[in-house]
Structure formats: C-alpha cells, structure tokens
A and B are shown apart, each in its own frame.
Chain A
C-alpha cells in the first residue's frame, strides 16, 4: 500500500505513460502541428543568431587545433581558386553548348531547369541519436516535404517536416535515411544509409545491395541515381573508402565518406524543382 501513497512516484509513472503514448502517436508523422510551428518560430531568431555566432567560434578553435598555419592555408586556397576558375570556364562553355542544343531540340528551358531556394541552418538536433537540423525557411518559402537539400559540396539530405517559416531536414548520415546511389565509374547501384565506423571520427554512409562482382575501389565517387524519385540524378554524395562482402556473402557493401562536412553546416540550398513535385503528386 506504501507504493500507492508515494505521490512523486505515482506522478512519475503517470507522466511517463502519457509521454510513451504520445511517442507512439507522433512517431512517423510528417505534418507539423500548429503548436510545433509556433514553438519553432518563437525560438528561431535567437537560435539563428547563436548558431551563426557559435559556428564561427567553433571554426576558429578547429583551425587552431587542426595545426594548419595561415601560409599553408593561403597556398591551398590560391590553388583552389585557380582550379575553380578553370571549372568556371568549362561551365560557361558547357552552358553555351547546352543552350545551343536546347534551341536545336526546341526544349522549354523553364521545365528542364531545377529551381532552388537557399536557407540558413539555425539549429541541430542535440545528441547523437538523430542527425536532423533546422533551416529558416518553410511553407511560406514554398518548401515541401521530401524536397532534396544540397550545398556546394554535395547532397545534404531531404526535408522531412515543414512549419510556417522553418523546416526540419534529415541528413543523409542519419541511420533512418535512405538514398539511392550509383558509383560514377562502374555504374553500380546501391542504397546508402547512415552508418557508424568504429575507427573513423567522421560519419560514414553504408552503401548496400551492391553486386558481388562490382569493381569498386576506394576513391570512387558516388552520386545520386535518381531512381527513388526524391533526389535528382547526378548530385555528388561521397567517395568510397572501403568495400567488403555483406554478412550473408551474397552482396557487397561499401563504406562511403560524404563530401559534405556535417559538423559545420551553415548554408544549404533546397531543390524546389517542379520535377520533384510532379513525382510527389504521382506517389
């Protein structure tokens, strides 16, 4: 009878039961409720300011501890600028060629060009159980669930929930994430999802369902295959670091290091292309 008279214990049990019920109900939902949207909007301005400020502090300390001196960094950046200038020249060349071909084929430019919307990262899910982050644009910016998110390095993830003026993005390194990828050199297809390597400090992706005779090598580039209908084809995902047979020995599995540095995400681009929306509507 003493058990029933212990008020704090009873309160604890009742609250936990309610929370567990809410967990079961809310797990798997993709629509954000009004309360969630408002709560996110209230915290957004402060989060945005603090995230930007602390990101700079984090980078400053990282630079100090990484041991890279300014001179070396300067040389590296100069080389990078030269490389990018070369790429820009190639890009302009290809753009002109593309326009010429489009005119020849009578293509409608508007329908074939991907549309983008930029956003700032204003928060990241605490702890290591989820790899989600918050961006400062939502329904008001035309953002919808399942839109791909990229940055200059490659594929970042996809939008999983949208509020009025903020959205949640699931990173490709999350263990619940799944991306259909293709190895650029060998054209082998596989599914990439978040993985955890015991020896590596950086997050890795596990590329499964690869054929046993796949001729993969460390250093091979993996891009999106466009098969699942969420991500457009050709976005850079990462590079292969290790290939090994799967547990059942029937397939190969590759560990892929993503190009994107998920430790310092500041600005991202959401692909709001009509192509994606059409596929959503079909589903």
Chain B
C-alpha cells in the first residue's frame, strides 16, 4: 500500500510539472512540486525514499520531455540524496521555517546541477541571468509552496499505511 501511494504521488507530481505549471505561473516562474515532495519525504522519513522519488519522477520527465535520460533524473536524484545526508544531521525541525529553507536550498542545488548538465550538452546561457531571472525566484516560490506540501505530507503520513516500518521519531514530526 505504501508503495502504491508513493507511486500515485509521483504520477501527480509529473502531471503537475509537465501540464499544469507550464500554464499557471508568474512570468514563467513556478514552484517545483517534485523538489517539495522530495524535501517533505526526506524531512519526515530521514531515508533515501526522497531520492528514489526524485529518480523516478526525473526518469519519467526525461522520457516524456527530452529523450535525454539523465537531464532531469540526475539533478532530482542527487538533490534527494544530498537532502538525505543533510537531514540525517538535522537536530531541529519545525513545521514552517526549516522545511521552507530546506526546499529552497534543494531547488538551488537541483538548478545548479541542471546548469552544469545543460552546459555539458552544449547549451549557451548566462549563468547569473539564469540565477537572477529564474533560480532565485523559483527557490522563493518553492519555499513558500513547501508550506502547503509539507502540511499535506504530514497529514498523509498520519496514515499507518504510508509510514515505513521502524520509524521511531515520526510521531514527533507529525
């Protein structure tokens, strides 16, 4: 049941990323729902589940939108893994500030990796233009959007069927 729910969450993420946010955005700036999901899962579970979620969503985006396997999956997976290593050392997690900052930082890391891959693939761009025009506003937007996603995930993880086994300090977070 847990895997089925996580699969459904991944599908919703992919649909929102590819079909909803390209139309509903502010001057081309939209929150990254996948980063929010990865961050929320990692903060709650403190496991690699977030990285696996990122890998799956990234692979689907690669297959559907670019045909270049790795362009989306590498940044999402690497960000999920980095989030896991950082969250393992986090001693204090509140319900608002830490998740927001966590998601914003994760978005910046993901965009940085995307920029490197894009450059490797021969794309020409001005990094500081991308940083000011897209990355920083998206990080802000994603951080704010994380409030909603984190709230939804806390509600979701109250259901026993979603929780992983042997997770001791989960009640404290929920």
Contact = CB atoms under 8 A, between A and B. Distances in A.
B161 interface: no
B162 interface: no
A23 B117 CA distance: 9
Size range of the chain A interface in the assembly: 35 or more
B11 to A, nearest CB: 8
Interface in A238-271: 263-264
Interface string B48-61: 10010001000011
B125 A161 contact: no
Contacts of A215: none
Given A22-B70, A26-B70, A58 B15 contact: no
B69 A12 contact: no
Contacts of A168: 65-67
B152 interface: no
A134 interface: yes
Q: How large is the interface on B (under 10, 10 to 19, 20 to 34, 35 or more residues)?
A: 35 or more
A130 B65 contact: yes
Contacts of B91: none
Nearest to B115: A129
B91 to A, nearest CB: 19
A22 B123 CA distance: 18
A128 interface: yes
Contacts, number: 137
Interface stretch (A36-44, A72-80, A183-191, A275-283): A36-44
A26 B74 CA distance: 14
Interface string B87-131: 000000000000000000000000100110110011111100110
Contact of B64 (A22, A61, A123): A123
A40 B63 contact: yes
A166 to B, nearest CB: 9
Contacts of A127: 111, 114
Contact of A19 (B23, B27, B74, B84): B74
A54 B23 contact: yes
B129 A19 contact: no
22 contacts: A8-B48, A8-B81, A16-B74, A19-B70, A29-B67, A39-B60, A39-B64, A40-B64, A43-B14, A50-B19, A54-B24, A125-B66, A126-B18, A126-B61, A128-B130, A128-B134, A129-B123, A132-B65, A134-B18, A168-B65, A176-B123, A263-B28
Given A19-B69, A22-B69, A57-B24, 8 more contacts: A16-B74, A20-B70, A26-B68, A26-B70, A35-B63, A50-B20, A130-B65, A175-B125
Interface of B: 14-15, 17-25, 27-28, 48, 51, 55, 60-61, 63-74, 77-78, 81, 84-85, 111, 114-115, 117-118, 121-126, 129-130, 133-134
